[in-house]
Amino acid sequence: MPLGQDPAFDEAQRARAARVLTVEVVFSTTCDKVVTGVLLTAFALQLGANNALIGTLAAVGFWAQLLQGPGVILIERWRRRRAITVLTSLVSAIAPAMMAGLAFAAPGGSAQTGLILAVALYTGAGAIGGCAWNAWVRDAVSDDVRGRFNGRRSSLSSGVAVVSGLFAAWVLDRVPEGDAGRAAVFAGLFALAFLAQLASAWCLSRAPEPPMPPPPPQPARLLPLLGEPLRHPNYRRLIAFLASWQFAVNLARPFLTVFLLSQLGFSMTFVMVVNLVSQFANMLSMHRWGALADRFGNKSVLNVAAPLFVGCIAALVVASQIQPRTLAGIYVLLVALVMGVASAGVALASNGITQKLSPPGAAASFLATNGLISAAAAGVASILGGLTADAFAQRALALALQWEGPHYDAAMQFAIHHWDFYFLISALLGLYALHRMTLVREEGELDRRTMISRMLADRRTRGDDPAAAQPGAAPWDLLLRERAQRRRGRRPVSTAPTTEAPDARLLPHPGHRRHRGPDQHRT
């Protein structure tokens, strides 16, 4: 079908775009789950990667976001965002095909270089496509439902990530490390990702695109376009917060898999389970975060989710202090569960506030500038982490507490070494990022204490009255509440519509959503 804009873009077209993009996220997430994340780290280790290479792979994904700059010029001059997104999706499909061939290559420098090139191609094409897609969705989705739109699409994405991750972990677990058949397993997974990416491009071609405003009389130039967002004080403060946040988080996050494998001694299967637990928590909480963002604002969600995420990073240090591996594993799973909930809120609210504070019709340059600066900060952090990994491996810091008494003696030691330093430094830098967040302004924002009070009050109301649940709530959530009331001997309240004031309950959910934001870089 033609990939031009739809001049007669109306509410029916808006609903159709939401439906199609919701289906599309199933395929794009399947490809992402195989080509990036834990499986990419496992494949790199299969090819003989060291810490520096793992950090480089993480940095390549971020540095590729610099291509959003040329992407803005392409959007402004061609003004066909859907066509750009479809074409870049097709280019991205080349990467998993390359990785399928590398699965049979001998471990060494040539295979590792090919892997870097494949990741660069995938994330680079995704950066240009993500820039066009973000501007496309910014004009296709209204502000009053953007949180639920993002939340429902992200919930489906997390669900697909859980299923595909379980499947990949099960398949890899069938073939032990060092077995010749493991290369065939990786090749099969990358072939599946290739087909999923082609299906993603087909779905994108079916989604309507609203028309862009008429082009300016003078041809768009890159530097003025990228500099325009920096002239807006509030958006400049938002960029400063997100850049500092990306630097803090990505100093340690790319090495979480290595930390679990090397320092804590867990198996790859357990690492996949940890990742899936986090994804599952992300999936279950995403829709709720979206409803809260629509009701209280994106900044209000960040006030709760961002400190929680920083606390989870610092809490990983405790895992090294727990000696029984079983207890350490349980602790890591609990941290991953909370981290999944927190990361869902941070990702959704960050994406929502960057779109909301971008002007309609000109969102491409604002989103691209934010993506460029945030990606550069994250890339620098990943490279620094990889280059300094060996230095921290040779250092340790121990604190000993000892009690001596007439009846018993006790001693306790708290020791941090290697990756523990990364998590502590990352958490400290995260505190500075939280300070930068307080300077950003959004209409209707709530402070952290008020937001938590509202959430608890809303939860109590929803627990007592199923009808008080938001219209977008999952059906099973409502049924569980009715069942709980029957057990208490109470008659369930009718879920029929009421005449309650619009500001007393959430607005109805009109649709869904698609793909990844620039911080996920088509990653």
Q: What is the CATH number of the domain that holds 312?
A: 1.20.1250.20
Q: How confident is the model at residue 188 (pLDDT cuts 50, 70, 90)?
A: very high
Gap between the Cα atoms of 506 and 461, Å rounded: 13
Least confident of 249-253, 303-307, 418-422: 418-422
User: Looking at the 3D structure of the chain, how many domains does it have?
Assistant: 2
Position 488 scores a pLDDT of 53
Domain final residue, candidates 390, 409, 428? 390
Residue scoring higher pLDDT (336 or 516): 336
Q: What angle do CA 375, 378, 383 make, to 5 degrees?
A: 120
3-class DSSP assignment, residue 403: strand
pLDDT digits (tens, 9 = 90+) for 264-301: 888 777 887 888 888 888 878 887 888 888 888 888 88
pLDDT-derived band at 499 (thresholds 50, 70, 90) equals very low
- Band of pLDDT at residue 515, cut at 50, 70 and 90: very low
Determine the pLDDT at residue 2.
61
Alpha-carbon 357 to chain mean position: 20
Look-up: residue for tokens 């699409």? Answer: 153
Averaged confidence pLDDT in the chain: 78
The 3-class secondary structure across 4-62, one letter per residue, is CCCCCCCHHHHHHHHHHHHHHHHHHHHHHHHHCCHHHHHHHHHCCCCHHHHHHHHHHHH
Range ranked top by mean pLDDT from 34-43, 147-156, 361-370: 34-43
pLDDT at 237: 92
3-class secondary structure per residue, 304-337: HHHHHHHHHHHHHHHHCCCCCHHHHHHHHHHHHH
Query: pLDDT tier at 455 (50, 70, 90 boundaries)?
Result: confident
**Amino acid at the residue 406:** P
Is residue 242 assigned to a domain? yes
Q: Is-above-0.75 flag for pTM? A: no
Task: Give the range with max mean pLDDT: 149-158, 183-192, 213-222.
Answer: 183-192
- Residue 82 and residue 169 in one domain: yes
Residues 369 and 454 in one domain: no
Name the residue with tokens 């330093």.
421
| Cα 79 to Cα 71: distance, rounded to the nearest angstrom | 11
232 shares its domain with 300: yes
Give me the pLDDT at residue 511, please: 37
Query: Is 498 contained in some domain?
Result: no
Is residue 484 predicted with pLDDT exceeding 60?
A: no
In this structure, of 92-101, 173-182, 331-340, the range with the lowest mean pLDDT score is 173-182
Closest C-alpha to 362, from 119, 126, 46, 81: 81
User: 220 falls in which pLDDT band (50, 70, 90)?
Assistant: low
> Which residues are bridge partners to 409 per DSSP?
404
pLDDT-wise least confident of 169-178, 252-261, 271-280, 304-313? 169-178
Counting every residue, how long is the chain? 523
Flag whether 124 is in a domain. Answer: yes
Return the number of other C-beta atoms located less than 10 Å from residue 330's C-beta: 12
Q: What is the pLDDT of residue 465?
A: 47
Predicted pLDDT of residue 6: 67
Is 272 in contact with 168 (CB distance < 8 Å)? Answer: yes
Question: Is the pLDDT assigned to residue 97 strictly greater than 90?
Answer: yes
- Same domain (yes/no): 383, 466: no
Q: Are 246 and 377 in contact (CB under 8 A)?
A: yes
- Residue 495 in domain: no
Q: Distance of alpha carbon 277 from its chain centroid, rounded?
A: 15
Q: Is residue 288 part of a domain?
A: yes
E strand or H helix at 217 = none
96: enclosing H helix or E strand: helix 94-102
Each residue's pLDDT tens digit, 48-84:
888 778 878 877 877 787 787 788 788 877 888 888 9
Rounded to whole angstroms, the Cα distance separating 237 from 351 reads 15
Residue 382 and residue 469 in one domain: no
Do residues 278 and 38 touch, judged by C-beta distance below 8 A?
no
Is there a single domain that holds both residue 63 and residue 197? yes
Judged by average pLDDT, the poorest of 2-16, 325-339, 348-362, 433-447 is 2-16
Cα–Cα–Cα angle for 154, 25, 367, nearest 5°? Answer: 70
Whether residue 466 sits in one domain with residue 329:
no
Residues 107, 204: one domain?
yes
- Residue 350 belongs to domain spanning: 13-214+221-390
CA 105 to chain centre: 31
Q: Which band of pLDDT confidence, cut at 50, 70 and 90, is reported for residue 520? A: very low
Residue 427, in any domain of the structure: no
CA distances from 500 to 124, 366, 469, 481, 506 (A): 49, 38, 13, 20, 11
Other CB atoms within 10 A of residue 503 CB: 8
Residues 324 and 232 in one domain: yes
- What is the Cα Rg of the chain in Å? 24
Bridge partners of 417, per DSSP, are 396
The pLDDT assigned to 485 comes to 53
pLDDT confidence bin for 462, thresholds 50/70/90: low
Q: Give the helix, strand, coil percentages of the chain, each rounded to 5.
A: 75, 5, 25
Q: Which is higher by pLDDT, 443 or 239?
A: 239
Q: In terms of pLDDT, which residue wins out, 87 or 71?
A: 87
Locus of tokens 């804590």 = 264
| Residue 523 in domain | no
pLDDT of 480 over the 80 cut: no
Of the candidates 359, 390, 421, which is a domain's last residue? 390
| 467: confidence class by pLDDT, cuts 50, 70, 90 | very low
Tokens representing residue 491 in the block? 């008659």
Check residue 433 and give its pLDDT: 93
Question: 318 with 462, same domain?
Answer: no
Residue that terminates a domain, selected from 347, 363, 390:
390
In a domain, 330, yes or no: yes
Taking residues 415-420, report their average pLDDT: 78
Residue with more model confidence, 193 or 506: 193
Q: Looking at the structure, do residues 374 and 453 belong to the same domain, yes or no? A: no
Same structural domain, 364 and 458: no
- Percent of the chain at pLDDT exceeding 70: 82
Q: In this predicted structure, what is the pLDDT of residue 473? A: 42
Read off φ and ψ for residue 288, nearest 5 degrees.
-65, -40
pLDDT score recorded for residue 231: 87
- Residue 315: is its pLDDT beyond 60? yes
User: Can you tell me whether residue 346 is helix, strand or coil?
Assistant: helix
pLDDT at 238: 92
